[in-house]
């Protein structure tokens, strides 16, 4: 591999953390340092000399610092091809000096947007000089080293520990990182101006997974999972684990202000419950389908204590998620070496869903609507009781997170059963009733939620015969009245929400 010696370095960064040892190593190797503004002051305070960009270009920083490095002597020093005779002749004619290393980062645009700053403040955090330096140095990686963010400092420091030379392979590694930084940054700006989140495979970092949905499929995770989760124990999360973990967290987040527990299998709930304690909620969730819970993903929105852990530990499960674990509970759950224990550090911030299809992408807003009492319109003569309203809303939240067609049966903060992923709503209901009977769940007085309207009255007829007394559905069928009439004639209450929750 062709080695190149670093003889000059341009350093201009917003964040100074971790920069000091690199500056000192460059100085030890006799590298000429070039810098701007605050970075120059930082270098000077280390007792190390540097050349100001303004002195190099003989042109001052103007427009409040908007233009500092955008000058032919800077970009010529970076972009000239060292082995191209024409470039070298022009370089000499214009008295341009080589720049062999560029260390630069970008204004914190995404953090500024997230902070709720004004539009004017956000615009000022769109980096121009920095992004131009990154792209220029990355383009000329054959001759120049580009360090585009703090994440590459450790690698650069390791190289400088052995000397001031880099191989082409190393320079190409840095260039690859640079274009990833550039792509992600531009995507964030474009998303801000279009007022929607944009899908970008360039989202950093990229994490390779063991395999995809099946062993013959390759898979990667793009993004920083550590912003949401901290893994305390267990094996590496798989593709299927990640999909189910997202489903589990999304579901338990619906139950704000309550102690909730969900057991997920293949993104669908096989058990959900709310109760005064985590232990009680777990046992109620497990009761709905203790068979499917085997190898499932468990999630709660409250701290797991020892009492809950003792029950959970009796079940073989892949993953347990909670905002915290009591120390005794953690030690007990760690007794299974492969069991993954995750702390949820922050709520999910999903705004869009992205799927690949037909050689392209389809993007939609996330379904962020949770049915509430304000959405309910009673359409039957009989009104649901206060307890039934709570059960209806509870069932509706679960239905929202279950594959269509779905029917969810619930009572007193416990999912009794569900039917999901059926081509017929009747099939989904019959599946739910069959499962409830199998696990000895009493459907007398239960509530039923449907993710979409009833095209015919057959579902309410079947439900009534099973003992169900209240129904929640979006409404909107041209035959809604048929279902309403049946409810009126057979002592069922029904509410409609006007909001459909299909999930494909």
The pLDDT tens digits for 75-107 are 888 999 988 899 889 889 999 899 999 999 888
| Residue of 139, 172, 235, 350 with catalytic role | 139
Q: Mean per-residue pLDDT for 296-322?
A: 97
Whether 219 contacts 201, CB under 8 Å: no
Pick 348 or 116 by higher pLDDT. 348
CA–CA dist 211, 230 (Å, integer): 21
Q: Mean per-residue pLDDT for 454-473?
A: 96
What's the confidence (pLDDT) of residue 232?
Answer: 96
Can 334 be counted among the known catalytic residues?
no
Residue 437: pLDDT band (50, 70, 90) is very high
| Residue of 24, 142, 266, 334 with catalytic role | 266
Whether 134 contacts 181, CB under 8 Å: yes
What's the confidence (pLDDT) of residue 25?
Answer: 93
What's the confidence (pLDDT) of residue 187?
Answer: 85
What's the confidence (pLDDT) of residue 195?
Answer: 57
> Which of 11-44 are b and which e, b meaning 16 or more Cβ less than 10 Å from the residue's Cβ?
bbbeebeebeebbbbbbeeebbbbbbeebbebbe
Q: Mean per-residue pLDDT for 221-245?
A: 92
What lies within 8 Å, CB to CB, of 411 at 6+ separation is 391, 442, 443, 445, 446, 447
What's the confidence (pLDDT) of residue 469?
Answer: 97
Please classify residue 393 by burial: count the beta carbons closer than 10 Å to its beta carbon, then call 0-12 exposed, 13-18 middle and 19+ buried. buried
pLDDT (tens digit per residue) in 378-426: 999 999 999 999 999 999 999 999 999 999 999 999 999 999 999 999 9
Can 266 be counted among the known catalytic residues?
yes
Residue 201: pLDDT band (50, 70, 90) is low
CA–CA dist 271, 268 (Å, integer): 9
Rounded to the nearest integer, the mean pLDDT of the chain is: 91
Pick 487 or 364 by higher pLDDT. 487
Residue 192: pLDDT band (50, 70, 90) is confident
Q: Mean per-residue pLDDT for 115-123?
A: 87
């Amino acid at each position: 591999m062709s080695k190149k010696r670093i003889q000059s370095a341009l350093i201009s960064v917003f964040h100074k953390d971790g920069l000091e040892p690199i500056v000192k190593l460059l100085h030890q190797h006799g590298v000429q340092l070039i810098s701007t503004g605050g970075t120059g002051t930082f270098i000077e305070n280390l007792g190390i000399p540097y050349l100001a960009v303004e002195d190099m270009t003989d042109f001052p920083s103007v427009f409040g610092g908007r233009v500092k490095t955008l000058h032919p002597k800077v970009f010529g020093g970076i972009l000239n091809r060292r082995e191209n005779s024409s470039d070298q002749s022009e370089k000499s004619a214009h008295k341009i000096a080589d720049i062999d290393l560029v260390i630069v980062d970008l204004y914190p645009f995404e953090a500024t947007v997230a902070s709720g700053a004004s539009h004017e403040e956000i615009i000022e955090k769109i980096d121009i000089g920095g992004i131009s330096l990154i792209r220029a140095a990355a383009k000329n990686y054959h001759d120049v080293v580009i360090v585009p963010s703090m994440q590459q400092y450790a690698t650069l420091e390791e190289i400088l520990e052995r000397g001031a030379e880099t191989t082409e392979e190393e320079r190409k590694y840095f260039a690859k990182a640079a274009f990833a930084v550039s792509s992600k940054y531009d995507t964030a700006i474009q998303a801000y101006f279009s007022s929607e989140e944009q899908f970008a495979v360039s989202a950093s970092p990229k994490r390779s997974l063991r395999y995809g949905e099946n062993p013959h499929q390759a898979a990667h995770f793009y993004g920083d999972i550590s912003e949401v989760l901290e893994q305390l124990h267990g094996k590496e999360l798989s593709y299927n684990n990640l999909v189910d973990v997202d489903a589990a967290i999304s579901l338990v987040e619906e139950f704000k202000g309550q102690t909730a527990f969900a057991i997920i299998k293949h993104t669908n709930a096989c058990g959900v419950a709310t109760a005064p304690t985590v232990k009680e909620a777990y046992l109620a969730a497990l009761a709905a389908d203790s068979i499917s819970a085997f190898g499932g993903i468990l999630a709660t929105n409250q701290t797991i204590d020892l009492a809950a852990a003792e029950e959970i530990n009796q079940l073989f499960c892949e993953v347990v998620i909670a905002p915290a674990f009591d120390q005794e509970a953690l030690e007990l759950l760690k007794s299974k070496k492969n069991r993954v224990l995750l702390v949820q550090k922050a709520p999910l911030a999903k705004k869009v869903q992205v799927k690949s299809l037909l050689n392209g992408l389809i993007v939609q807003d996330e379904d962020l609507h949770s049915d509430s009492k304000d959405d309910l319109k009673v359409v039957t003569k009989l009104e649901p009781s206060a307890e039934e309203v709570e059960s209806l809303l509870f069932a509706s939240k679960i239905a929202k997170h279950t594959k269509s067609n779905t029917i969810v049966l619930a009572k007193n903060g416990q999912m009794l059963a569900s039917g999901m992923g059926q081509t017929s709503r009747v099939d989904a209901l019959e599946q739910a009733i069959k499962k409830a009977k199998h696990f000895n769940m009493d459907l007398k007085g239960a509530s039923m939620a449907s993710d979409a309207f009833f095209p015919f009255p057959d579902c309410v007829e079947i439900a009534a015969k099973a003992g169900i007394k209240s129904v929640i559905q979006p409404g909107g069928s041209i035959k809604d009245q048929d279902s309403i009439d049946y409810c009126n004639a057979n002592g069922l209450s029904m509410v409609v929400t006007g909001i459909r929750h299909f999930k494909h």
